[in-house]
Structure 1
Amino acid sequence: MLPKWLLFFTFILVLTLTSIDGQPTPTSIIKRQESDVIDYHRTGITRTSTEVATETSNSDKDDKDDKDDSNKGQNNESDSKPKPIPAQTTPWFEAVYGSGTGAPKTIMSCLGAILIVLGLFLCSMGFRMFRPMLCVMGLLTFGSMTWIALANCKPSSGYPYDSILMIVVPVCVGLVGAGGFYFLWNIALYLVCAFSGFIFAIFVLSWRGDLVIVHNIGRPCFLGGMALLAGIAAFFALRPTLFFATSFVGAYIFMFGVDCLSRSGLIAGPQAILNRNPSHYIEYVLNKIIYVMLAMIILMFLMSMAWQMLFNAAHHLTMHVVAAAKGKPAHEEPKEEGDGRPPSTAPTS
């Protein structure tokens, strides 16, 4: 038999080893702590990434909403502005020339032919034949102002018999204006010059697709200012201002009539300037043909100006000023039939 102390020692040793195996060792504790830390960091990283992703998606959504709101605001602003009818399309031709693509209507062809004849008359005999010139200017002045009023007040669906009404009504009102200019010639002289300044301003604005003066307030101020300036110039220098008025207006309406037949787009310039109706606002696009027509207006104006100044060198509003050189009063010199200002007001030089 083993001694008792050996058995007791063996029992204590076995009990100790058993207790040591059942408890975690320091190494296992460290490993478990490391795994716990890794799991914690992984959980934290995953949570942080999720939160960041969520915040990013939310911020992207907010940015998208802001962009949508800004785009809606821009669309609302663009919707509030008049959208012009695209050039060279069927609605554009209908708005400008009264018919779609193809040959012009009969009434538009007649208008073009009449304007060509009136333009040639003003360029050649406008100063010499004083009273007929006043009638033509009265027709053009009152007719154009009536067309501007009708175009800006036109409903979106248009007038009944629109293409006919937009020509016939201005012509009828223009005939009334022609009679008024004929009888009230002393006032009509300044209105003729003011109308020429108005036409000159339209010509200047037509040299760019955005109408040279882009601002919607500056444009009518320029039109009115040029008309006023020409009227004031007539008060101080009537003779040269009338030469300018008859020559330039004649050259402009001549090419205007040509465009009524050729349908090149020159008419779209003054229509875009004067017609601000959002339902019938058209696009004005310059091309080579329009540039050529604008240049032809300048050339025709210069030729007419030179011709009229030479042809009427001894003529002042149908009264021959050479009468004074003969020792006779100006009113005793023969006048052309149906023309001229009253004899008592004819200047002598």
Structure 2
Amino acid sequence: MNKKGAEELLKTIFGLIIGILCLIAIVYTGGVLIETFFGSGQTLQANGQIERFKETINTLEEGDSTYFLLYAPEGWKFLSFKSTYNSNEVSGKIITEPSYCFGKNCVCICKNNCQKDKKAYCLPLDKPLLSKENLVFLEIKPTNLWVTENKESYELSLRNSYFTLSSISDTEKKEFDLFLESLKSQSYFKTIEDKSYSDKISKELVIALIYVDSKSNQFAVTDCGGAGIVGVLPHSAKFNNAQATVFEDASFSACKSDYAERLKTAVQGKSDTEKITLDERFNINTNLNIAFTEIKRLQDKYKQNYEMLVLEHYCGEECVENYCGTWEFNACQSELPTEIKNYMINVGRYYTYQLKR
């Protein structure tokens, strides 16, 4: 091989080495970025779940019960520790508590090894969290938990939930994502954000209600007679704003399909101004103010039991009394008409989808 050929070969080899090194660097950097992005997303979810559990516990008094939706980060662990032990043993596997929890009653969300504090998000409790007298150990997936405060402990049990029954299809996700993008561009979306924050109401729940009730159509009427961007029933409007104009001056708190049909007929052919004059629930600002006040009232009434909240929101207090007669949803869900079941399932699906995004 002559000198020129040798030089060309060396250049080629050198170029290949540089190319391989660059490829390795790109793959490594990409891996780091992916790990950083998804890792931070999961840590935010874990921290958010712990904060929500704290809020749930704080609503309870001795003898009270409420729901808690455990949904993310999927595959992580949700477990409790007791002040008198330093580990949680499940099926022969011992998980040592994080140093933060030594000597405390704690509930933690951990990715792998709870001893590594950066992989654990914990909440100290005034009493242990138990399930059938044992410490709690759950692998996280969309699960509805029933939390009861007893004298000596918090008791946890699993419950079937309309909020975890079914997921949404790819087509439904695309449709909802487009709706959400449009909703965020509306001037009143800031009201939704601000009031959700100030009233400590789940923004995701409000958005799910808007989507199922109206898909942002301010002149929508639900099958039960709710009206507006959030399907506010006549009783909710009158109870929270006595001066509000409501079609037929109605004030019922029930599901009345005949009333809904009359209202739909009454607004046909009318201008937007005429519709709002007929029923102020069609005014977006009025509707949102009433809706947030009502949701806050129901949230306090049912101690954040969103299933009961959604049930009364949609079909009224009479509906709850007729079908449930109790504030524990499991006792009455089988009695609900198909239409009401489907409504609640849909609200639950889109609420849960937002939480998992």
TM-score interval for Structure 1 and Structure 2 normalised by the shorter chain: under 0.3
More strand by share: 2
TM-score, length-scaled by structure 1? 0.27
Which protein has greater RCO, CA pairs closer than 8 Å, 6+ apart? 1
TM-score, length-scaled by structure 2? 0.26
Tell me which structure has the larger Cα radius of gyration: 1
